Amino acid sequence: MIAIVRSEWLKLRTTAVPWVLAGIALLINGLFILVIFLTHNGGAGRGGQGGGGFASSGDTIPHTTQQLRNLLGSGFQGYLFALLLGVLCITAEFRHKTVTTTFLITPVRPVMVAGKLITAAIGGAVLAIIMLVSTLVGGGLALVGRGGSFSALLHQVPAVAPGMILVFILFAILGVGIGSLLTNQVAAIVVTLGWFVILEGILVSLVNGAAKWVPTGAAEAAANLTRNRGDFSLFLFNWWQGTLLMLAYGLVFALVGSIILTRRDIT
Amino acid sequence: MPSAIEVHGLTKHFGSVHAVEDLSFEVDTGRVTGFLGPNGSGKTTTLRMLLGLVAITSGTATFGGRTYEKLHKPTHHVGAVLEATSFHPSRRAEDHLKMVAIGAGIPLSRVDQTLELVGLSDVARRRVGKFSLGMRQRLQLATALLGDPEILILDEPANGLDPQGIQWLRTFIRYQASIGRSILVSSHLLSEMEETVDDVVIVSEGRLVLQTTLADLAGRAGTSNGMRVRSPEIGRLIEILTATQVGYRPTAPDTIAIDGATPEWLGPVLAQNQIVVYELIHDRGSLEDVFLNLTQGFASTFPATAGAGAGPGTSHAGPTPMPGGVS
């Protein structure tokens, strides 16, 4: 299994897909950081004078614990890219027919799916760390540039990082599960984005109590591993229940996908 | 000699389509076996069943008694070249081989060795998307050889190769056999393979037509179909033939064909009668003709070939349903 994961990791690394995904995630993260600072500035800056870069008093930059955590967690939106990473690492094999070579190396197909689950989980964790580091650098620079405290931001890492890494891992695993069920790349991406961007929100607003059961709700709960966002948490499971529910989604999909794959003719 | 590959009663149905039907053959150790048949005769499906990629409806396909999935480290025993498209275009050739080597537990030193073996060392760092078809085929061969397997399975490896590429491939396959590998290589053209293979397994419409040695097949082809003579004195020759009651067919104003005649018979006849000859042709069935004859009765997808110099009486290829014609 170690050999398979190492091979899968090389496979992931040597195509453009993960780099493009990480690049887009970073770009979006940069925009979020910008928005955080602009909106903070916006309130105070409106009354300020022209050339007002000096309005760096306490309440124009993130400084409360919650504000700093929100800043550090700006990369959270990247979970969608962890999900796509999981989806693509399996559907790309079918799209480019490399799955033939993969199955020649690993003829027992569930073993291959297991290898991808582990590899995508690692990839998800790496993506989370990239988002955190980029936020620390970008957000930190902006913070310090406006007279804020970098160490205060750094202080929030233990409260934000573990939950974020966990959520990215869970989404990457879910992605592999979806990909093993829907091996057609276009179909898999359309269904994934359709669910997480549109359908899930509609379901949650229509069905009472659905919020805690849908993947995003479960992941939101899992994110509370190390920080407690009291306002949301009322409607959600606690962190380990959310984690188990997310894992269950991913692994059940992967299991059913593996069974279907085992019977499938690779022509 | 023990068999490297054994196929017994192999059958595959895709819904109502019977792709392979009760197919049995063996590949002997250390020999090159040509797996021949027209397009759509079930060759690829058979090879993919052998490799565990396509589920078997019934029958067995094994390597020394084990299915591909049951082999310990299968890529160390069996190397396969399937189709030229199975690479990720943005991955570098070298990385593709490394990925396979790591996954299969093969030392990374084999990557450079196999690249060198197939002549791709210079382009190892290039992305496969930029490769020509011939280069992709070579990279496939390198992939198959990574695990130093004793058996090679090659599905239409000559497809898309230029004449030099095909010549290289022949030398390559003969070399692999000379160092003891057993090779099963499929093709829809016998002529492509007749200098390369020791044995032939001929299939048509998913069924076995014939398994034999190339020498035996050549023996069947070698029989004389007759002689053709072009002469300014063709009238005198016709008189002599008529007098001795030998049949002939005029094929041009100054040319006749004498079915069943041999050079040993015709030469002295011409010499004794001092007939001037412009052209003397020995019509002999080629291996390709034998192959076509063997597979023709089955192959409804093949248009009847305009047989140049083939024996008489083979032109009606049965009730062939032609799909609508070309529009």
Mean pLDDT of chain A: 86
Q: For tokens 């897909």, name the residue.
A: A17
Contact B14 A265 (CB under 8 A): yes
Superfamily of domain B3-220 in CATH is P-loop containing nucleotide triphosphate hydrolases (3.40.50.300)
Do B12 and B20 form a contact (C-beta atoms < 8 A)?
A: yes
Cα end-to-end distance, chain B, whole Å: 53
d(CA B296, CA B290): 10
At A259 the pLDDT is: 95
Q: Which residues of B touch A266 (CB under 8 A)?
A: 48, 53-54
At B105 the pLDDT is: 93
At A176 the pLDDT is: 97
Give yes or no for B204 touching A (CB within 8 A).
no
CA–chain centroid gap for B110, Å, is 30
Label each residue of A143-209 as H, E or C.
Answer: HHHCCCCHHHHHHCHHHHHHHHHHHHHHHHHHHHHHHHHCCCHHHHHHHHHHHHHHHHHHHHHHCCC
Amino acid at position B269, single letter? V
Summarize pLDDT for B127-179 with one digit per residue, the tens: 998 998 889 989 999 999 999 999 999 999 988 788 888 899 999 999 999 99
pLDDT at B48 over 50: yes
The answer to whether residue A220 is domain-embedded is yes
Summarize pLDDT for B270-311 with one digit per residue, the tens: 999 999 999 998 877 677 777 877 777 544 433 333 333 333
At B63 the pLDDT is: 95
At A171 the pLDDT is: 96
At A23 the pLDDT is: 92
Mutation site for B-interface testing, chosen from A7, A101, A102, A267 by largest number of B Cβ within 10 Å: A101
Q: What are phi and psi of B313, to 5 degrees?
A: 80, 10
d(CA B228, CA B211): 33
The answer to whether residue A47 is domain-embedded is no
Contact A96 B87 (CB under 8 A): yes
Q: Which helix (H) or strand (E) holds A242?
A: helix A239-263
The answer to whether residue A216 is domain-embedded is yes
Number of domains in chain A: 1
At A54 the pLDDT is: 42
The answer to whether residue A92 is domain-embedded is yes
Do B74 and B150 form a contact (C-beta atoms < 8 A)?
A: no
CA atoms within 13 Å, Cβ hemisphere of A6: 12
Tell me how close the Cα of A68 comes to any Cα of chain B, in angstroms.
Answer: 40
Mean pLDDT of chain B: 85
pLDDT at B312 over 60: no
d(CA A166, CA A169): 5
d(CA B154, CA B206): 18
Of A4, A16, A265, the CB nearest to B54: A265
At A59 the pLDDT is: 57
Tell me how close the Cα of A15 comes to any Cα of chain B, in angstroms.
Answer: 5
Cα end-to-end distance, chain A, whole Å: 26
The mean pLDDT of B20-44, rounded to a whole number, is: 93
At B85 the pLDDT is: 59
Q: Give the range of the structural domain holding residue A113, as residue numbers without chain letter.
A: 2-30+59-263
Counting as low any pLDDT under 70, the low residues of chain A are 40-60, 226-234
The answer to whether residue A41 is domain-embedded is no
How many contacts (CB atoms, under 8 Å) link A and B?
Answer: 85
Of B68, B90, B104, the CB nearest to A16: B90
At B91 the pLDDT is: 92
Contact A97 B86 (CB under 8 A): yes
* Domains of chain B by residue range: 3-220, 223-284
Query: ipTM score of the complex?
Result: 0.82
Of B68, B80, B88, the CB nearest to A96: B88
The answer to whether residue A50 is domain-embedded is no
Query: Considering only residues 14 to 43 of chain B, which have any Cβ-Cβ distance to chain A shorter than 8 Å?
Result: 14
Of B55, B68, B80, the CB nearest to A265: B55
Do B187 and B35 form a contact (C-beta atoms < 8 A)?
A: yes
Hey, is B283 helix, strand or coil?
Answer: strand
CA atoms within 13 Å, Cβ hemisphere of A206: 6
Q: Which residues of A touch B95 (CB under 8 A)?
A: 10, 14
User: CA nearest A255: which of A178, A168, A140, A148?
Assistant: A178
Q: Which residues of B touch A101 (CB under 8 A)?
A: 86, 100, 143
Of A11, A100, A107, the CB nearest to B69: A107
CA–chain centroid gap for A9, Å, is 18
Contact A103 B53 (CB under 8 A): yes
The mean pLDDT of B80-84, rounded to a whole number, is: 80
Q: For tokens 């076996």, name the residue.
A: B33
Angle between helices A109-145 and A17-45 (to 10 degrees): 30
Structural fold of domain B223-284: Alpha-Beta Plaits (3.30.70)
Give yes or no for B45 touching A (CB within 8 A).
yes
